[in-house]
Structure 1
Amino acid sequence: MKPRVFALANQKGGVGKTTTTINLGTALAAIGERVLIIDLDPQGNASTGLGIDRRQRAVSTYHIMATRTPVSDAVRETAVPNLFVAPSTMDLLGLELEIAQERDRAQRLRLALIAMNKTRNAADTFTYVLIDCPPSLNLLTINALVAADAVLVPLQCEFFALEGLSQLLKSIEQVRSTLNPRLSIHGVVLTMFDPRNNLANQVVADVRQFMGSKVYDTVIPRNVRVSEAPSHGKPALLYDLKCAGSQAYLRLASEVIHRERSLKSAA
């Protein structure tokens, strides 16, 4: 069975993209899904946050994109059962220049995932692939959007949130109209929410009014334990399962699964 591929994208940095990728992936794995995280950010924070040492990244997403290395060669196990990662390295910084003249430069990741699905045994098939995008709308993010079935947008509860969201929506629409007609927005997840902050509450209300049912009910709170977890090389759900952030990501995973079932029944 072909996995569902989600690109976690937002051109703004510091909105909780990587944190959401790691912890949503962990939560999905915890409820029985088999999940692959593809780290497409040259900073490699998703890889580090899942405990993958830089010395373990001899084969990375750079090789998948630049030299057409099979995805399976880059995949590493994590400390979480059923959760795997294809790590990244700083080599990705130069990828755009390296493949700029190639006709399939925007299709590299999609073609790699198609090849992976053809060669994996049924028992090894992933049910979800989560792509952690860099904080920009560059060729790496375009590759993620072309490879994805849907986009999951982490959005920080701050003043400029809607401005950044409208730019991202335009880019998604451009990719849908030219390169990937099946691309949809799965949902917007509001992150780093502080209920004591009046502005944060206003942002939540504004985003819900603007995006309607596309906004997940689950809101991820600003949480110290979630912030601490990556420095220990662990998802928050392993670091402190009972903290408010971990519980929110478990609810988000349940909501994602519920939306998936609704989409299938409506198809």
Structure 2
Amino acid sequence: MTTTLAIANQKGGVAKTTSVASIGAAFAETGQRVLLVDLDPQACLTFSLGIDPEDLELSIYHVLTQGTEAADVVVATDDGVDLLPATIELARAEADLLTRTGREQAIKAALEDLVDDYDWVLLDCPPSLGILTVAALTAAQAVLIPLQCETLSHRGVGQLLDTVHDVRRFTNRKLEVWGVLPTLFDGRTNHARRVLDTISETYDLEVVEPPIPKTIRFAEAPAAGRSILATSRTSKGAQAYREVAATLQKRANRPARKRKA
């Protein structure tokens, strides 16, 4: 059975796209079949996996607004995951979908014939709480919230959880919150841990361990068009994402597959 997981936070700069690419690559390392969906008009996930959006004739925009089959848009990446890419055209999708009946179901409907080909579908939500994020939450079984470990970083978590509540009420009553993923974590200070404790207590959210450390290796990976698991395989950041992926696999009750020889 496919697990569709939305990675969402309307605040930028929280390593959301890095987390999608890295967790996806970690799943792929264990033999899982993975589809990543870029829902951000900035197309950062598409760029980071070595694909130039300007070279694409079709994107997730055409799937959502023009009825293009998702299977005709999927591209393979060097990280062993498939990608539904984005282009700047996606910025028009909010307006195009706004007047459509069932707009909240747009992503779920678009992926319906495709999801059974994968063990995991990871949705890289845009940094907003607009229709694309709502549609992603409607399509997902669960949501993971990446969060930078700084004092002001959790401002807006309440708004996101309000949106989750509304989605549960109106379009996806089974949506689960799998917790907060700490990113850009500086283990040399007590401050970051205090921030996590505050978030856990204030919002009653699970903190997914281990925290993702702050490292320059994350900035180097997109330039190579790969995830950190490919560019710095033995780094602390890569290993942290492998452990997070293992935690998520247990949460989904999905054992790792044996690698093919």
* TM-score > 0.5 by shorter chain: yes
Tell me, yes or no, if structure 1 residue 232 matches structure 2 residue 224.
yes
State the match for 1:64 in structure 2: 63
State the match for 2:158 in structure 1: 166
Instruction: State the alpha-carbon separation in 1 of the partners of residues 65 and 86 from structure 2.
Output: 12
Q: TM-score, normalised by structure 1?
A: 0.91
Percent identity of equivalent pairs: 38
Secondary structure of the residue aligned to 1:151 is: strand
Where does structure 1 lack aligned partners over 5 or more consecutive residues? 263-267
After superposition, where does 1:18-97 map in structure 2 within 5 Å? 18-81=17-80, 83-97=81-95
Specify whether residues 10 and 203 from structure 1 end up closer, same or farther in structure 2 by C-alpha distance, changes over 3 A only: same
Tell me, yes or no, if the aligned pair for 2:158 and 2:203 is still in contact at 8 Å: no
Secondary structure of the residue aligned to 2:96 is: helix
State the match for 1:214 in structure 2: 206
Tell me, yes or no, if the aligned pair for 1:41 and 1:133 is still in contact at 8 Å: yes
Tell me, yes or no, if the aligned pair for 2:199 and 2:205 is still in contact at 8 Å: no
Tell me, yes or no, if the aligned pair for 1:70 and 1:116 is still in contact at 8 Å: no
Q: Return the match for 2:109 from 102, 106, 111.
A: 111
Instruction: State the alpha-carbon separation in 1 of the partners of residues 41 and 196 from structure 2.
Output: 30
Where does structure 2 lack aligned partners over 5 or more consecutive residues? 255-261
State the match for 2:235 in structure 1: 243
Secondary structure of the residue aligned to 1:193 is: coil
Tell me, yes or no, if structure 1 residue 17 matches structure 2 residue 16.
yes
Q: Considering only aligned residues, what root-mean-square deviation do their CA atoms show, in Å? A: 1.5
State the match for 1:223 in structure 2: 215
| Cα deviation, residue 207, structure 1 | 2.4
Q: 1:93-124 CA deviation, whole Å, 9 max, x = no partner?
A: 1112122211021111111111324xx6xxxx
Secondary structure of the residue aligned to 2:114 is: helix
Instruction: State the alpha-carbon separation in 1 of the partners of residues 187 and 65 from structure 2.
Output: 44
| Cα deviation, residue 171, structure 1 | 0.8
Q: TM-score, normalised by structure 2?
A: 0.93
Instruction: State the alpha-carbon separation in 1 of the partners of residues 188 and 11 from structure 2.
Output: 24
Larger helix share, 1 or 2: 1
